[in-house]
Amino acid sequence: MYKNFNIKKIAILSAILLFTVNAVFAQHRHKVLKHADLIIQMSEKDTCNIDTMRLYSWTGVQVEEVAKTTPVLGKNGFEFIFKLKNLSFGNYYLGRVVNNTMTDMRPVVLGSEEKVILSGSCAAMQGMKFEDSKVNIAFEQMVDSIKSQSNEFITVLTAYQQNNGKAEIQAELKKSLTEIDFRRKELYNRLKKDHHELAPIVALFTYQSFQNNQKDQQQTEGQYIGENYFQFADLADTNYVRCAFFYQSIKDFATNLTQVQLSQEQVQTYLDATLVKVGQKNPQYRSALLATSFGVMTNNKKLFLKYAEQYQKLYKGQNVVLDNFMDQQIAQLKSSTEIGDEAPNFSAATPEGGTKSLKSLRGKVVLVDFWASWCGPCRRENPNVVAVYNKYKTKGFDVIGVSLDTDGAKWKGAIEADKLTWHHVSDLQGWKSAAAALYKVTGIPNTLLLDKNGVIIAKNLRGEALEQKLKEIFGE
């Protein structure tokens, strides 16, 4: 609940699925209606150039069209009438198409009432009103309450943080947070009683402030968020399968965890625990896993890679656009060579005719050295590398040289002449070297220093700078 959200515009998968929806409703365990009418009544005898009105259903990670209809002239104006059969209770979206372009969407709850009428001007679907639909009226009131409470919470919390050290001001702001906590719980309890079908949505937004609910002085705010963010929601409830609020809440939760003082291991522990609560066998697990991936994408690339690969393993093939995006992002991250990234693995031929992979050197501090026999600066740097290699090789330091040579004899001759007794690989493709392309090498010498886990900790260290870094790692 720390991250502000726009109830009126929840962007699903940012720009990936290219669909913006407004709000959604959790599916209710209700008998399927054999027949239901959805009628959109225009207050004027004008369609505002609406070609068709389309009805969509939320499927967990996107919306899908389930019906469409064209305008007919009624007594007071044009109408769009949907005759729906075998209608499951839940949230749907009305979308109007003008000149073959989707121009507006409006959520509507269907499945519990035999007739739902939405009336008003064709020029503004968001301004239309529901007539005698208790569920839809209650839903819109609920959305307004959630939005208002969330905005107020963020405003007060921001002020609380900005006044750190000012006890009197923080005490007053803490009282305001207490009032918001109470109103959130009151809304949840009221809907459980009066409109229990809406309660699962509100449960996602009934977060209680850390400032008033900290377990003890040892519990950090990050730990509190990880343990209590969804304390009122049963994430295993399959009612969430058609709830975009569910996707957005999981995504916000993941983002918030990466913005508080938690280690990567702690963040992953809380995210994994949340996914376990959802349950892989539940239909909304796909939505939860995707939301988790995108929630950590900006602030923690390693965790994004972990959850994105898990998502592709389970769900690849269900959405081409999303598959292509995920594959692209995964490929880019796997080939990323920035400090803090895990070094991409490669394998190439050795001078002896075998093969050697970078990953085989895990457990050691490794210098990856891109060089060539014809490279003057590389050859002049080799004595420095030889010196530090001989000094630290017994302490866990190793080197793998990746040659951009094309002549095998010259490559092997340089290794022998310069007394380079570490690991060597090359595909003898020169600047077309696969390893060089993977690491985006455009000039040599080019080096990367990796820790024992294969993570890049420094780049292009030479001479004294390389020796100093190894002193920091291994000591004298």
Task: Give the separation between CA 473 and CA 452, rounded to whole angstroms.
Answer: 11
Task: Say yes or no: 363 and 413 in one domain.
Answer: yes
Q: Are residues 128 and 178 in the same domain?
A: no
Residue given tokens 């064209």 in the structure block:
70
Say if CB 351 and CB 409 are below 8 A apart. no
Choose the final residue of a domain: 115, 132, 149.
132
Of the residues 132, 158, 193, the one at which a domain ends:
132
Is 11 part of a structural domain of the chain?
A: no
Asked whether residue 328 is domain-assigned, the answer is yes
Q: Spell out the alpha helix ranges (H) of 4-59.
A: none
Pairing of strands 10-12, 19-21: antiparallel
Q: Which residue has the tokens 């949505």?
A: 201
Degrees, nearest 5: CA angle 412-415-417: 105
- pLDDT score recorded for residue 51: 85
Report the pLDDT value the prediction gives residue 168, as an integer from 0 to 100: 96
Q: Which domain holds residue 234?
A: 136-334
Same domain, 303 and 172: yes
Q: Long-range contacts made by residues 99-103, C-beta under 8 angstroms, separation at least 24?
A: 99/49, 99/51, 100/51, 102/54
- In this structure, the answer to whether residues 65 and 184 fall within a common structural domain is no
Q: Are residues 227 and 327 in the same domain?
A: yes
Average pLDDT, the chain: 88
Secondary structure E strands in 43-141? 50-58, 63-69, 72-73, 78-87, 90-98, 101-110, 115-120, 129-131
Q: What is the DSSP string of 291-343?
A: HHHHHHTTT-HHHHHHHHHHHHHHHTTS-HHHHHHHHHHHHHHHT--STTSBP
Please name the residues in contact with 178: beta carbons below 8 A apart, sequence gap of 6 or more: 209, 212
DSSP codes of every residue in 50-70 = EEEEEEEEE-SSSEEEEEEE-
Q: In 3D, which of 365, 337, 354, 335 has the Cα closest to residue 424?
A: 354
**Is 237 in the same domain as 323?**
yes
Rounded-to-integer distance, Cα 34 and Cα 24, Å: 23
Same domain, 178 and 91: no
> Residue 91's pLDDT is what?
79
Q: Are residues 251 and 322 in the same domain?
A: yes
Question: Do 170 and 117 share a structural domain?
Answer: no
Q: What pLDDT sits at residue 46?
A: 72
pLDDT digits (tens, 9 = 90+) for 298-343: 999 889 999 999 999 999 999 898 999 999 898 888 777 888 888 9
Last residue within a domain, chosen from 113, 132, 151 = 132
With 0.75 as the threshold, say if the pTM is over it.
no
* Contact call for residues 422 and 386 (beta carbons, < 8 A): no
Report yes or no on 2 lying in a domain. Answer: no
Determine, yes or no, domain membership for 9: no
Residues 126 and 140 in one domain: no
Residue 97 lies in a domain: yes
pLDDT on residue 23: 40
Q: What is the pLDDT along the chain (476 residues), one digit of tens a residue?
A: 554 333 333 333 433 343 333 344 444 455 567 778 888 888 767 777 888 899 998 888 888 888 999 988 887 788 899 999 888 777 789 988 888 787 788 888 888 888 999 998 887 788 889 988 998 999 999 999 999 999 999 999 999 999 999 999 999 999 999 999 999 999 999 999 998 888 999 999 999 999 999 999 999 999 999 999 999 999 999 888 878 889 999 999 999 999 998 999 999 999 999 999 999 999 999 999 999 999 999 999 889 999 999 999 999 999 898 999 999 898 888 777 888 888 999 999 999 999 999 999 999 999 999 999 999 999 999 999 999 999 999 999 999 999 999 999 999 999 999 999 999 999 999 999 999 999 989 999 999 999 999 999 999 999 899 999 999 999 87
Beta carbons of 368 and 466 less than 8 angstroms apart: no
Regarding whether 387 and 252 lie in a shared domain, the answer is: no
Q: How far apart are CA 148 and CA 41, in angstroms?
A: 30
Residue 10 belongs to a domain: no
Q: Tell me the DSSP string of 245-300.
A: HHHHHHHHHHHHHTTSS--HHHHHHHHHHHHHHH-TTSTTHHHHHHHHHHHHTTT-
Same domain, 282 and 429: no
Residue 444 counted as domain residue: yes
- The number of beta carbons lying within 10 Å of the beta carbon of residue 257 is 26
Residue-level pLDDT at 27: 43
Please tell me the predicted confidence (pLDDT) of residue 30.
52
Task: Return the CATH number at 402.
Answer: 3.40.30.10
DSSP β-ladder status, 33-42 and 50-58: unpaired
Domain assignment present for residue 342? The answer is no
Number of domains into which the chain is organized: 3
